[in-house]
Structures are given as structure tokens and as C-alpha cells.
Structure 1
Amino acid sequence: MNKNFWKQKKVFIPIGIVIALVCIIIGFMIYYNSSTAAVSDEKDPIVFVVESGESSELVLNKLAEQDLIKNSFAAKLCMKFNGLSDIKAGNFSLNRSMSTKEILITLNDITKAKDDQIAITFKEGMWAKEVAQLIEDNMGISKETLLNLWNDDDYLRSLMGKYAFLSEDILNTNYKVKLEGYLFPETYMFKKDATAQEITETFLEHFNKIYLKYQGDIEASGYSVQEIITLASVVQYEAAKKSDMDMIAGVFYNRLQEGMMLQSSVTVCYALYDDLTSGEDCEVNTHIESPYNTYLHEGLPIGPILNPGEEAIHAVLNPKDNDYLYFVADVYGDGSVHYAKTLAEHEANVDKYNLRK
């Protein structure tokens, strides 16, 4: 055996380890830099609320859920590497073009908290009167004042010159609330002394961003903005999951194309409005006379029945192609939706899941 073999071996082993370590370090740096980079180049402000007493881990998880950071584990490393664990409670304005480090620096700076503003979260599917009540509870502006403003034709006409998505269609005297459907669900920060008009236009400004995003799809759909938002509101009410929104939108289009009534019980819910006490009311009052009731009137209800989120709007503009005409949700079970092509199949689903009225 060559006497130099072991000498050569002793040299090769350390070099191999060094190379491996270098590769690991380079790989880690690539992962870390990629995972803590900005999520996108979108600069639209996003309200982020840190509640008093929340742990840093919970805050990082919330940032990830709101798609403000890519990776909560990498963010935790960033926080430790840069000494940014002293996160303050308050309302902060962030955006997705900020890196993880920039976001953490902001959350560690109490001067960046918007103490003169109130953050309010409006969930998908809220009725306008529920939105108004939430504003009253948090800001003191009466629900009645807001609802009167949202039904004020002169004010609404003044908005039409500013927002292309608003048209004379909303000035229907039979509407419960004429701005129903356009109070876009989101977390907003309002100045504590904001007026009812300023609050209203904050909603509409955000809706305008969604409208511009889908304007081409809306124009290509053959439906008006009002009709798209109306159908989206029904889909939002009917479905709990995005996948079901896509399918249910497809079912409703199939029914419209077949000349069938939509027969959506959620439109009955809105027809009942102040008289609604439970979900069962919607199932047993399909005879109620109302232009919102799709059991009595063909086509779409006369207007939106709630304020839909982006997923519902997207579903209506991009429905899942299917050949179903019926669906029913297992409301007493796991909430899954069961689809059928024929009335007989649908009734079998209703019996199977014990959903008979």
C-alpha cells in the first residue's frame, strides 16, 4: 500500500467537511434571505393589530395568516438575530412590500402605532345594518345615521362621479340598503373623529381596488357590476369554503341558463330581514312576498343580500364548470355540500343527510 495514502486521506476528510459546511451555510442563507424577503411589491396599506399581552409567536403567526410574511419560523430567526422581540401593542399600518425585518422594526417602534385611529374588522357576509352597528359600537356614530346616509340618493349620486362601479342601479326604492354589497369586508383603521362620509368612502376606496382588479372579467361576463355583486352575495351566504363557492356559482349559472328559479333559501333570509330569528326561518318562509325571494321571482334577487368578500366575487367571475342543478349543505354534520344533477338525486341527498324541512 502506498505510504502516502493515509496522509492524503487526512487531507481529504477535512476539505470534504469544510465544503459540506460551506454548502450548508450558503443553503441556509439562501433560505433565510428568501423567506424573510417581501411577500410582493404591493404597497397597499394593511391594518395589523397587536393586542396587549399577545406573545411574539402569536404575532408572527398572525403576520403569516395575513400574508404579510412568508414564513413564521424564518421570521422568528430574524427577530432573534436582530434583537426585535420587543413587539408593541397597537394598530400598525403595514404592506406586503416590506421585508420581515422592516415589519418587525415597525412593530418594535411604539411611535409607529396609530393611537389616534381605531381598527375595526368587518367579516365577509355581514349585512350593512351589522356593519353600521359595529361602527356605532366602536366609534359612536349611530347606526341610524349610517344607514340613512347609505340610502341617501343625493349622496349616492355624488359618489357615482367618483366611483365607476356605482351606477343608477343602486337607486332602487325597494332596496333595504342601497350600498349593500359595496361595504367591502376588511380590517380598516379609521381616525377617531372620522365622519360617516369618511368612513363610507374608506369602504368604497377598498372596493374600488377590487373592482379595478376584476374590471376586465366583469365587462367580459355580460353582467353588470350590480348583478355580479348580487350573485356573489348569494354565493357568499351559501358557501363556507372557496371550493364550494366555485361549485355553487357554477350551479347557479346552470340554473339561470336552464331558465330555472335560483330557489336560494338565503335570499329568503334577507327578505325576512328584521323578522329573521334563525336559519330555519329561511327554510320555512319560502312563500314570503319580496323581490329578494328567489323562490317567487325569476333570476337574481333585485340586489345584493350582504357584503361579499373577494373569494365570492372571484368565484362568480370564475365558476367551476359542472353539470349540477342542485346542492344541499349538511348543516347538521360537517357542513359539506352535496351536489345533484336531478331533483330525485337532490331529494335523496336531503333525506340521507336528514335535511328535510
Structure 2
Amino acid sequence: MTGNKNGKNKDANKDNEKIKHKEKLIERQKEASLVRKIVIICFLVIILTVAGATYATYKYVMNAIGPVDETDEEMITVEIPIGSTSTRIGSILEEEGIVSNGTMFRFYVRYKNEGHFQAGEYELARSMHMDEIIETLKEGVVYEDYALSFTIPEGRWLEEVFERIADETNLEEEDLIELVQDEEYIDSLIERYSILTDDILEEEIRWPLEGYLFPARYDFVDDEVTAEQVIEAMLDRTAAVLEVYAGDTGYSFHEIMTIASIIEGEARNDEEREVISGVVHNRLNINMALQMDPTVAYAHGEHLSRTSYEDLEIESPYNTYHVSGLPVGPINNPGEASIRTALQPANHNYLYFYHAEDGEIYLSESYSEHQQILEEHRD
């Protein structure tokens, strides 16, 4: 009898254990199901939150770049002063109610790589899309009858810039030169313009504002201008271009303008600018001497038809055959294309280039390849 009881008890215990085990499994399955539900809910919440934020951002941006009021076609006269940056233009447009957000205008202009807005009076409406406003500011015919105009080509030295201004205006070259040598005036410009730093005060720099006098056409409504007006109009244009292209490059504005001036001195066309910029950046990245001939000419203070070995021996903070890295400052006044490519160089491994008389530019990655190219194309 005892044996039968023990057997029954064992069977009962096993059944109880099975029941408990099954209950635990059911409980775990419920817990796992609950966890899965929680995870799915959290995931959906995150997706909905991100989607909501994305949609809200999209709506905000679209509203900001869209018309302020599609139904309001009344034309409003808006004046854009000479030398206005995109930041200043955005503020004016916001003040006049043409755009809803001046800062968004500046960001949108930078995103679209737009610039060179014309100064003058415009008829704009609150029903205009931001793209329409930008095109109007670029293409509008304004100030048709200027009392005074002059044009500065790319790549000119400061002395040449002032000589041309003196030829086309009421100003004297000596007065312009005297002004840019006035330390008090230069200090005041540094305080006003973020693109100007104490780097331009380096003792060995020939002209503090070399590189910053933007080459372009300048128009004035008065038949007489001051030297300050002319210089500051040119600085405004440089600041506006840098505002469009400059980002976190690791280089200061002074270094950017110096690189741009070397590109301007070396490149024959826009296609070459990106390639030559890539060579300059590649050399700087490995601490290799730049050895650019235009810096030698600037060191001598005269344009050289051909750079001789004797020319290379001049000791100067501008001569990149002798100094490491960049010269002490810009060697001319570069245009927009050179500034842009200084900030956006071509991605390649070339360290050398040679301009042949046939008009072609020959690139090479090693000195031996470069020497071979020279032997093939030089007399």
C-alpha cells in the first residue's frame, strides 16, 4: 500500500510541476508579448514624433520661402543700398513685409549659391515666391543712369586697382594709397568687417587690403565719391561673396583670400581653377612648399613674362619657393570664381601642374612625372 501511495504522490508532484511550468511559460509569453507591444508603441511614437517634426520643419521652411500673402499683389517699392549683403537684404525685405523671415532668406540664398544682387529700387509684392524675389534682385534693371562707374578686372594688384579708379573717378591715386596706409582707418575697418582680422596688420604685408578689393563693376549715383566710399563698397562685395561660400574650412578668411589670389594668378580659366586649387590644398596638407610663380612676381613687385631661376632666389615672405605654407598675404585681388574654388577644391591626388604653350595644363602626382612632362614640352 505504501508503495502505491508514494507512486501516486510522485505522479501528483510531476503533474503539479508540469502545471507550474506551463503557467510560467504562459506568464513569460504574456510578459514577452507586453514587452513587444511596449517596444512597438515606443517605436511608433518615435516614428510619429520624427515624422511630425520633419513635417513641421518642412511646413515652416515652405512657408518661409513661399509668398507672405498669395492674394496681396500690391507692389511695394523696396530700396537695396549699394554693397548690401544677403543678410542686410533679408532684413530689408522682412522689414518691408516682402518675406516672412530675413534669416531664412539668407540661408536660402546661400543654399542656392545665389549672389551679386543689384543695388537700386525694386517693385516687389507680398505674393511673390522667394525664387521670384531672388531673380528680380539679380536681373532687375536698376539705376540705369549712373553718374559714375568703373570696372576692376580680376587678379589686379592694389596699385593697379587704384590706378584704374583714379582714371575713372574724381579720386587721386595718391589719396587712395594714403588712406589704406592709415593705421587708424584700417583699425576701424577691422572693427566693422568680420572678414578683416589683425592678420592684415602683419608688418611684412605690402598692402593691408590687398586681396580684399573685390573685382567688379561699381556704379554710383553721385558724380563725386570719397575714397572711403569706394574702398568700403569693394569690401562689402568681398564680404557678400565670402558669406555665400565660406564654411568651416579650417582656414581663416585671410588664408582663404591668399589661396584664392594664388589660384587667380595661376589659372587661365574656370575649369583650371578647381584643379589648381586641389593642387594647392594637396601641397598644404602635406606641408609641401607651394612654389607658385605668381608669388615670385609679387615678391619682385613687377610682372614677369617668365620666371627665371635667378628670380626664384629673392628673399621675401611672399616667395613660396622660400617660405613654407602660404605667403604672408594675398598677391592680388581675386574674383568670385577663385574665392569659390579656394573653398571648394577639386578632389584629386595631383601635386604638380604645368601650363604648356599649346594652352593645355598637364597634371602629375610625382616629381618624376612632372619632370618628364617638362622635358616633353619645354624647348
TM-score by length of 2: 0.62
The 5 A counterparts of 1:306-317 are 306-317=332-343
Check 1:283–1:179 CA distance in 2 against 1; reply closer, same or farther (3 A cut).
farther
Match of 1:151 among 166, 181, 188: 181
Cα RMSD (Å) of the superposition?
2.4
Query: What does residue 235 of structure 2 align with?
Result: 204
- Match status 1:302 vs 2:328: yes
The 5 A counterparts of 1:1-357 are 96-97=135-136, 103=141, 113-115=144-146, 117-190=147-220, 191-215=222-246, 217=247, 220-273=248-301, 276=302, 278-281=304-307, 284-330=310-356, 332-334=357-359, 336-354=360-378
The 2-side partners of 1:121 and 1:247 are apart by 28
SS at match of 2:202: coil
Alpha-carbon deviation of 1:278?
3.1
- CA offset digits 1:268-317 (Å, max 9, x no partner): 010011xx253214664011111100001100000000001111111111
Long gaps (5+) in structure 1? 1-42, 47-65, 69-94, 107-111
The 2-side partners of 1:296 and 1:310 are apart by 28
Check 1:287–1:130 CA distance in 2 against 1; reply closer, same or farther (3 A cut).
same
The 2-side partners of 1:199 and 1:282 are apart by 37
The 2-side partners of 1:193 and 1:67 are apart by 24
The 2-side partners of 1:282 and 1:158 are apart by 41
Higher Cα radius of gyration: 2
Preserved contact between residue 44 and residue 96 of structure 1 (Cα < 8 Å):
no
The 2-side partners of 1:313 and 1:289 are apart by 27
The 2-side partners of 1:212 and 1:321 are apart by 23
Amino acid at match of 2:363: Y
Check 1:99–1:350 CA distance in 2 against 1; reply closer, same or farther (3 A cut).
closer
Preserved contact between residue 232 and residue 308 of structure 1 (Cα < 8 Å):
yes
Alpha-carbon deviation of 1:211?
2.2
The 2-side partners of 1:252 and 1:96 are apart by 35
Check 1:141–1:99 CA distance in 2 against 1; reply closer, same or farther (3 A cut).
closer
The 2-side partners of 1:290 and 1:338 are apart by 28
Long gaps (5+) in structure 2? 1-79, 84-114, 118-133
The 2-side partners of 1:285 and 1:96 are apart by 49
- CA offset digits 1:215-272 (Å, max 9, x no partner): 4x1xx11111101100110011000122211111111111122221001111001001
Preserved contact between residue 147 and residue 177 of structure 1 (Cα < 8 Å):
no
**Percent identity between the aligned chains?**
33
The 4+ residue runs of structure 1 with deviation greater than 4 A are 43-46, 281-284
Amino acid at match of 2:358: G
Check 1:327–1:44 CA distance in 2 against 1; reply closer, same or farther (3 A cut).
farther
The 1-side partners of 2:264 and 2:137 are apart by 31
SS at match of 1:184: coil
